[in-house]
Amino acid sequence: MRKNSRLPNLQNLGIHLRILLIVNLLAVMAAILLSRQLSEFLPLLAQLSALVQPIVLLSVLSLYVLHPWLKKCHYLQGVAAIFVVEISITYLVFAFVGNYFSVDKPTEMLRPCLLAAIVTFIVLYYFYLQERAYSPAIAEARLQALQARIRPHFLFNSINAVLSLIRSQPKRAETALEDMADLFRVLMSENRDLVPLAQEIALCHQYLDLEKLRLEERLKITWQISDMPSDAMIPPLILQPLLENAVYHGIEPMPEGGEIIVKIYKKVKELHISISNPYAPQNNHHIGNKMALKNIKERLQLHFDLESSLKSEAKNNRYEVHIRIPFGS
């Protein structure tokens, strides 16, 4: 396995459901293989479940508690710790209830502990493959964002706007160049870990300030973020590409421009992000949104699994993207 692989978020409901599903499917397969005839299947499955369910539930609870420590460990150290936890829980469960299932200590304890190690390997390898399947979305996001920055209509217009300010407003021109440098720095860096929401908002302000240089009064931004939890952790380059889409597909095609509305708020234990822009159904320019939304959705699933969502809809001449992310866990 790669050294830079990440352990799954063991405090995520979606991860817990997948663990329960995988373990129980393995128990069903074991019951099928061990049954010599059909009448033996259900009693054997019930016997296996009586042992498996306490182990898997204790495992999920233990890993939930240990997750803050595990995520700080090197990947292989975290994997080793999980194996130790699983084997220990299996040993303790069999030590208490093994007598009821004809398990004699200590020789026959080796078999269930070995089976626990095998099941743990299968579960971890599943999450490793899942992380590997979605990881290209991160690299793709960097590439798409970088290509967007280099896109001539943005780069040339921004440079021309800065040149026009050098003599009349040198301070503003200097700030714009610093904003461009910061954008490139973020886009060229590794963007695998979560970042504070405030950091992403600051990046968005820098991007929009550059767009303001060339679109001027055509671009209007309304920020509704008074209830925003600045310390919330989100995947990097989530908001900026959405704002870029809103500018490129919503504002640029309209001669009169329009307003982009950004709403960010906390509701119970969830962070909600909504970005809306003008939308003209006859405008084919808007179709390009799909690829960026797909990429962001994949990255949200990679980080938060079933606890996040991304929805988009067009109504009342506006196009809105709504993101839901867990917060406070």
pLDDT digits (tens, 9 = 90+) for 171-223: 877 887 887 777 767 666 655 678 889 988 988 888 888 888 778 889 999 99
pLDDT of the residue at 166? 78
Question: DSSP code of 238?
Answer: S
For residues 312 and 229, membership in a common domain is answered with yes
Name every residue whose Cβ is closer than 8 Å to that of residue 52 and which is 6 or more positions away in sequence.
23, 24, 27
Beta-carbon count within 10 A of 165 CB: 18
205 — phi, psi (to 5°)?
A: -60, -40
pLDDT of the residue at 192? 61
For residues 123 and 255, membership in a common domain is answered with no
Within a domain: residue 141?
A: no
* CA nearest to 250, candidates 281, 227, 225, 228: 281
Report mean pLDDT in 10-residue bins for the chain, 329 residues: 63 86 89 84 84 89 89 87 92 74 59 88 88 62 48 61 75 79 67 80 85 84 90 86 86 88 91 91 56 78 84 89 84
Number of folded domains that form the chain: 2
pLDDT of the residue at 139? 53
> What is the domain extent for residue 248?
151-326
Question: DSSP code of 305?
Answer: G
Residue 181 carries which side chain, given as an amino acid letter?
Answer: A
For residues 113 and 155, membership in a common domain is answered with no
For residues 23 and 95, membership in a common domain is answered with yes
**Per-residue tokens: 218:** 């055509």
SS3 state of residue 109: helix
Name every residue whose Cβ is closer than 8 Å to that of residue 310 and which is 6 or more positions away in sequence.
293, 296, 297, 300, 321, 322, 323, 324
Within a domain: residue 171?
A: yes
Residue 160 carries which side chain, given as an amino acid letter?
Answer: N
Helices 152-165 and 170-188 cross at an angle (nearest 10°) of 150
Cβ proximity of 15 and 7 under 8 Å:
no
For residues 198 and 245, membership in a common domain is answered with yes
For residues 167 and 308, membership in a common domain is answered with yes
Q: What CATH number corresponds to the domain at position 244?
A: 3.30.565.10
Q: Please give the Cα distance from 236 to 150 (Å, whole number).
A: 19
pLDDT of the residue at 80? 92
SS3 state of residue 278: strand
Q: For residue 205, what are the CA distances in angstroms to 217, 244, 286? A: 16, 12, 23
Within a domain: residue 218?
A: yes
Cβ proximity of 252 and 285 under 8 Å:
yes
pLDDT of the residue at 150? 42
